[in-house]
């Protein structure tokens, strides 16, 4: 956990420190409250029996009891307030950094699989909750035991020694052994949980298709049975801890009885013994929290370590080192010499291709679905590792060029662009945050998207809902094209730009793109199934058939 916190720059340092201090104060106040209450009640009773009740000063102990109770309440409230504030500070730093690191290190433009995303979110939840579930309870238990053992020592040395041994055994050794045994089973359950999570994610992703074929109920039933079995096994894993909690409470009661018995046998200070008895009972009762601490600590540590490793390995492994990277003034000429790549480690290689892209050219990369057109295009954007001498920009080998330098100069308009919920202007400014309304309007016009955007009363403030709701698939593709154009690329990669368009609309779009092409040192790469030039008013400079 400290490794992750340090990697993030120690966010919320003051809040974390204050929360830990308040956790200790609240725990100490709780034990003092019980100890002082026990002493006060017994001392007052003895004074009454001895006929000295009228002279017994009850003001100071009464004020002490109230002060301890008030301090405990304030400590608990302050601990929760500052603790959650610290977690929010951590979360505000952690989540963007983790997703940024993941985006930088992932290959290609494909989104993270649902199961992987869920596992990542679970790790972040575990790491963020570590402070509240592990650190603060641990500090509270230790602080409470220190005070309770101090009162036991003040009452009787033998009681103190026995209390230390009981604490080491019941609150330390037994929970530790139980956690060790549970962890082996928990590792198996974790694998089962990952598998179940993946099954449910795939079920949700394909629910519509399964429902069409009448198989949704069957697969949902299987997923429900798997989750029910996992839940049953998880509950079985927690039973020993519930038993240990009862043992701790029983040990606390036993130590309280022992404290009173020792005072009676040795004719010791009975009020002090009563205070020690209640303090020990409170400390052992609170120690049941150590069970959850010991159970949660390994999980949170593993999650924190995984996240720290993600942050340390944030940059793509194939990116050029900043200190040795070569600068490029342009991607042209973009030369491909015997290039072949794979979408992922172990995946099939794409066909070997060679071609050259010059400024002002239109190049087609044609081939059937699944042959690797998108993967090759992503490789041109440096989103996949390539071997030396297979790809170069302006005469500079791609292996020596930073990915960010290439992405500044190449944009891609995918066939199915992704959008975040928000306005049209919000989506366009993802490509160019400082874009003016005139620049956005020009990009929309070049993509023939101005017609349906400004036909709406809201115009650029028209809302795009979750999953692109509010616009048709064809409209979303043209909005994606406008966004790619707004980035001002040198090379524009178009994935099936004319798919689903009638000939008249395709010709109009091609004409607009021709105008854009003539506006500077630019080139277009088209990915499509057939190299027939359909929808394009001029012959392409080069066609590559995979």
pLDDT at residue number 53: 59
Dist. CA 104–CA 59, nearest whole Å: 66
Print burial letters for 171-191: b (CB count within 10 Å at least 16), e (below 16).
Answer: beebbeebbeebeeebeebee
Cβ atoms of 125 and 94 closer than 8 Å: no
pLDDT at residue number 233: 73
pLDDT at residue number 199: 76
Dist. CA 365–CA 150, nearest whole Å: 79
Cβ atoms of 362 and 540 closer than 8 Å: yes
pLDDT at residue number 416: 87
Cα 417 versus chain centre, distance:
24
What percent of the chain is predicted at pLDDT more than 90? 46
Side-by-side strand order, sheet with 396-397: 353-357, 334-339, 391-393, 396-397
Q: How do beta strands 396-397 and 391-393 pair?
A: antiparallel
Dist. CA 311–CA 309, nearest whole Å: 5
- DSSP letters for 164-202: HHHHHIIIIIHHHHHHHHHHHHHHHHHHHHHHHHHHHHH
Question: Global pTM?
Answer: 0.70
pLDDT at residue number 43: 83
pLDDT at residue number 394: 95
Q: How do beta strands 353-357 and 334-339 pair?
A: antiparallel
- DSSP letters for 359-383: TT-EEEEE--TTSSHHHHHHHHTT-
Dist. CA 31–CA 143, nearest whole Å: 9
pLDDT at residue number 225: 83
Q: Which residues of the chain have pLDDT under 70?
A: 1, 53-56, 114-115, 181-188, 190, 235, 237-242, 289-292, 295, 313-314, 531-543, 545-546
pLDDT at residue number 184: 66
Encoding tokens for residue 62? 């009464």
Dist. CA 275–CA 310, nearest whole Å: 51
Which H or E element spans position 497? none
Is the bond into 333 cis (omega within 30 degrees of 0)?
yes
Dist. CA 456–CA 471, nearest whole Å: 11
Encoding tokens for residue 441? 């309007």
Encoding tokens for residue 59? 């003001």
Encoding tokens for residue 474? 């064809």
Cβ atoms of 432 and 392 closer than 8 Å: no
Cβ atoms of 543 and 361 closer than 8 Å: no
pLDDT at residue number 129: 84
pLDDT at residue number 427: 94
Torsion angle of the four alpha carbons 46, 47, 53, 58, in this order, in degrees rounded to the nearest 10: -100
- What domains can be seen in the chain, in order of their start residue? 2-312 (1.20.1560.10), 334-545 (3.40.50.300)
Encoding tokens for residue 446? 């070049």
């Amino acid at each position: 956990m400290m490794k992750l916190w340090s990697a993030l720059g120690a966010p919320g340092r003051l809040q974390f420190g204050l929360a830990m201090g308040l956790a200790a104060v609240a725990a100490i106040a709780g034990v003092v409250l019980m100890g002082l209450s026990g002493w006060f009640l017994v001392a007052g009773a003895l004074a009454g029996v001895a006929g000295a009740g009228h002279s017994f000063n009850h003001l100071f102990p009464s004020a002490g009891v109230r002060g301890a109770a008030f301090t405990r309440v304030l400590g608990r409230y302050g601990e929760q307030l500052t603790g959650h504030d610290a977690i929010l500070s951590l979360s505000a730093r952690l989540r963007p950094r983790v997703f940024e690191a993941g985006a930088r290190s992932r290959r290609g433009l494909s989104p993270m699989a649902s199961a992987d995303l869920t596992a990542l979110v679970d790790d972040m939840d575990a790491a963020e909750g570590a402070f509240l579930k592990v650190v603060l309870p641990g500090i509270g238990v230790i602080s409470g035991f220190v005070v309770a053992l101090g009162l036991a020592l003040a009452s009787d040395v033998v009681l103190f020694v026995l209390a230390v041994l009981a604490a080491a055994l019941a609150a330390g050794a037994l929970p530790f052994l139980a956690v060790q045994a549970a962890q082996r089973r928990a590792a198996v359950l974790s694998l089962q949980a990952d598998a179940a999570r993946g099954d449910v994610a795939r079920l949700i992703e394909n629910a519509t298709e399964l429902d069409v074929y009448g198989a949704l109920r069957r697969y949902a039933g299987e997923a429900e049975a798997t989750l029910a079995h996992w839940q049953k096994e998880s509950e079985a894993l927690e039973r020993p801890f519930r038993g240990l909690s009862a043992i701790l409470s029983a040990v606390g009661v036993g130590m309280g009885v022992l404290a009173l018995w020792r005072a009676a046998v040795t004719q010791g200070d009975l009020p002090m013994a009563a205070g020690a008895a209640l303090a020990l009972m409170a400390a052992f009762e609170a120690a049941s929290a150590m069970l959850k601490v010991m159970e949660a600590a390994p999980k949170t540590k593993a999650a924190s370590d995984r996240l720290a490793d993600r942050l340390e390995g944030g940059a793509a492994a194939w990116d050029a080192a900043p200190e040795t990277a070569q600068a490029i003034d342009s991607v042209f000429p973009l030369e491909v010499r015997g290039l072949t790549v794979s979408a992922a480690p172990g995946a099939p290689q794409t066909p070997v291709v060679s071609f050259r892209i010059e400024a002002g050219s239109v190049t087609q990369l044609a081939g059937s679905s699944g042959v690797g057109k998108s993967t090759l295009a992503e490789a041109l954007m440096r989103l996949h590792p390539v071997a030396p001498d297979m790809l170069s920009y302006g005469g500079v080998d791609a292996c020596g060029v930073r990915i960010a330098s290439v992405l500044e100069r190449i944009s891609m308009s995918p066939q199915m662009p992704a959008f975040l919920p928000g306005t049209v202007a919000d989506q366009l400014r993802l490509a160019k945050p400082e874009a003016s309304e005139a620049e956005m309007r020009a990009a929309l016009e070049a993509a023939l998207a101005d017609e349906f955007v400004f036909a709406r009363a809201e115009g650029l403030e028209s809302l795009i809902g979750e999953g692109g709701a509010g616009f048709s698939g064809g409209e979303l593709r043209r909005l994606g094209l406008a966004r790619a154009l707004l980035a001002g690329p040198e090379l524009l990669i178009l994935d099936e730009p004319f798919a689903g368009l009638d000939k008249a609309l395709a010709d109009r779009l091609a004409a607009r793109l021709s105008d854009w092409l003539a506006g500077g040192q630019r080139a277009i790469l088209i990915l499509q199934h057939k190299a027939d030039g359909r929808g394009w008013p001029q012959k392409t400079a080069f066609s590559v058939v995979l």
